[in-house]
Amino acid sequence: MKWNSLIREALNKKTSQQRNEENHIGFPTKGGKSMEGSISPEFRCIISKQMVGILISVWVRNDLRTYIRSPNVSCVGCGIIGCLGNKGSVSVRFRLHETSFCFVCTHMASGGREGDERYRNSNVAEILSRTGFPKGPSLDLPQKILDHEYVIN
């Protein structure tokens, strides 16, 4: 809750500052409010999940909230005994308009010794195989991470 509170404050403070800057730069105003949009584009959290040291929090502009469908979370622990949440992933899936989104936040074991990368790769394979989302009312949403079209950053 503390992180989400800080994120909310930062996002909404930035949009308030941008609106004030627009009004000072010469955008037409009416009653002290910009005519470009009299309501600030406030951000809202649509889904948030923490698993030990992993936190994923997805925020959207308030005007997009009504277009968010089927938000789901999946947690996979890969820590001690292969199941504790000190290592692993938290994944979020939802639909915005007609596009499905899947975000994966991971925390893997560190180490540069021989064999450490095989251990991390094994954890990734475990995450990919164990992450699943419920079917829910929208049967056309992918249930596995790799079923989504994806971009690696």
Q: How far apart are CA 33 and CA 24, in angstroms?
A: 11
Closest residue by Cα to residue 5 from 48, 67, 40, 41: 48
Q: What are the distances in angstroms from CA 67 to CA 46, 63, 98, 139, 140?
A: 11, 8, 9, 17, 16
Contact 88, 106 (CB under 8 A): yes
Q: What is the CA radius of gyration of the chain?
A: 20
Q: Are 117 and 56 contained in the same domain?
A: yes
Q: What percent of the chain has pLDDT over 70?
A: 73
Tens digit of pLDDT for each residue in 105-126?
Answer: 999 888 888 988 888 898 899 9
The secondary structure of residue 35, as a DSSP letter, is: T
Same-domain pairing of 6 and 64: no
User: Over the chain (153 residues), what is each successive 10-residue block's mean pLDDT?
Assistant: 87 66 48 45 88 91 92 88 78 90 89 87 90 74 76 58
For residues 17 and 78, membership in a common domain is answered with no
Residues 11 and 49 reside in one and the same domain: no
What residue numbers bound the domain in which 74 lies?
A: 44-153
Q: Check whether residue 19 and residue 89 sit in a common domain.
A: no
Q: Are 66 and 21 in contact (CB under 8 A)?
A: no
Our count of domains for the chain comes to: 2
Q: Do 78 and 138 lie in a common domain?
A: yes
Q: In this structure, what are the phi and psi dihedrals at residue 139, rounded to the nearest 5 degrees?
A: -75, -10
Distance (Å) of CA 140 to CA 62, 67, 134: 25, 16, 11
Does the pTM surpass 0.75? The reply is no
Q: What percent of the chain has pLDDT over 90?
A: 29
Indicate the SS3 state at residue 140: coil
> CA 65 to CA 47: how far, in whole Å?
11
